[in-house]
Amino acid sequence: MSEASSPSSAASGTATPRVFSGIQPTAGSFHLGNYLGALRQWIAMQDTHEAFYCVVDMHAITVAYDPAALRVRSRVSAAQLLAMGLDQDRSTLFLQSHVPEHAELAWVLGSLTGFGEAGRMTQFKDKSAKQGTSGTTVGLFTYPVLQAADILLYSPEPGEGERDLRVPVGEDQRQHLELTRTLAQRFNHRFGDTFVVPEAHIPAGAAKITDLQDPTAKMSKSASSPQGIVDVLEDPGPMRKKIMRAVTDTGTDVRYDEENKAGVTNLLRIFSALEGTPVADLEGRYAGTGYGQFKKDLAQVVLDTFTPIRERTHKLLADEQELDRLLAQGADRASQVAARTMEIVRDRVGFVGRGR
């Protein structure tokens, strides 16, 4: 049954590695750092992996938030992913809350997680330090356990190809992935081999993009000023302005030098990734022209990339019924895999099967 449920297990026997990743719908738009650091690779991996991609709306409620904004942002997030090239015929895109097994498996895994073990998660320590004890929720504490459940639900069953489960994530998620691996091993050890131990996957071509105003810091919604971030859905005018006003360095050379020219180096990385031109070629092209022409051309490349994505996103959002239909399609496919995994898990942990 689960064989017919997923796009590429139709080609059963061929070892298509499975990939799972998630992104929070916490902003009104994704940004250039999300795009070059992760999302572009999600798109590419549709063709080499059996891919499951999840907008993790349940993770988004672990901190203070507005329900109406969450609803908008979840749809905007999904629409942007589709506009960037995610395709329900080649992968499975869904909203986490549409597949309640995520919460159910999180409960089981939470009962295998030590209190101290969860307390050692540095992201929890950082976030809870900012919120104070009264503002810190139990949901924020168990956030990494829900993340482990997200991933392990899509663990391929024995006999399903190579039983390979890859998770493309950035450096900041390494500890959460380590916990996921520990929980998979612990479950297998106590209850019998059930989960594939997933691998962190740093995708080829992922580029680390830094803040346009502070090029030594990562481009990030929580840390950067608006001037330091280029949003995917931003209007062309402000988009161009932000690139033109990006911090460069003293001197006039367009030269890749992480240590002494962090600003220009970041812009070269963006240019190279978006245009597909090696950095050395760009250095040659802009030898002696100064920063002005370089930035002007880069702004055009950024606009050429994001304009069609912005337009497709708005088109998708204009037909909410169709967008919701596409998401239901993803949820149906994800549910079939998740339901099968939970059947096995319930049995292994000793729950009585429901009679018919």
Give the residue among 313, 353, 344, 351 at the shortest CA–CA distance from 76. Answer: 313
Compute the least distance from the CB of residue 56 to ligand TRP, in Å.
4
Binding to ligand TRP in span 118-147, by CB under 6 A = 147
Q: Does 33 bind ligand TRP (CB under 6 A)?
A: no
Q: Which of 8, 16, 21, 155 binds ligand TRP (CB under 6 A)?
A: 21
Q: How many residues bind ligand TRP (CB under 6 A)?
A: 13
The SS3 of residue 23 is strand
How many whole angstroms separate alpha carbon 270 and alpha carbon 33?
9
Q: What is the footprint of ligand TRP within residues 152-191 (CB under 6 A)? A: 167, 169, 173
Pick the catalytic residue from 125, 130, 208, 221: 221
Residue 90 phi/psi, 5° resolution?
Answer: -115, -10
Backbone angles phi, psi at 148, to 5 degrees: -60, -40
In one letter, which amino acid is 21?
Answer: S
Q: Does the protein bind ligand TRP through residue 97 (CB under 6 A)?
A: no
CA dihedral (147, 171, 39, 302) in degrees, to 10, reads 150
Partners of 21 in the beta sheet?
53
Q: Is 315 known to be catalytic?
A: no
Tell me, yes or no, if 127 is annotated catalytic. yes
Q: Which residue is nearest to ligand TRP (CB)?
A: 22
Catalytic residue at 221? Answer: yes
Query: Of 24, 41, 80, 224, which lies in the binding site for ligand TRP, with binding defined by CB under 6 A?
Result: 24
How far apart are the C-alpha atoms of 239 and 229, rounded to whole Å?
A: 9
Of residues 75, 76, 80, 117, the one with CA closest to residue 97 = 75
Minimum CB separation of residue 22 from ligand TRP in Å reads 3
Beta bridge partners of 283: none
Check binding of 247 to ligand TRP (CB under 6 A): no
- Kindly tell me which residue out of 43, 56, 63, 327 binds ligand TRP, with binding defined by CB under 6 A: 56
Question: What are the residue numbers of the active site?
Answer: 127, 218, 221
Q: Which residues bind ligand TRP (CB under 6 A)?
A: 20-24, 56, 59, 147, 150-151, 167, 169, 173
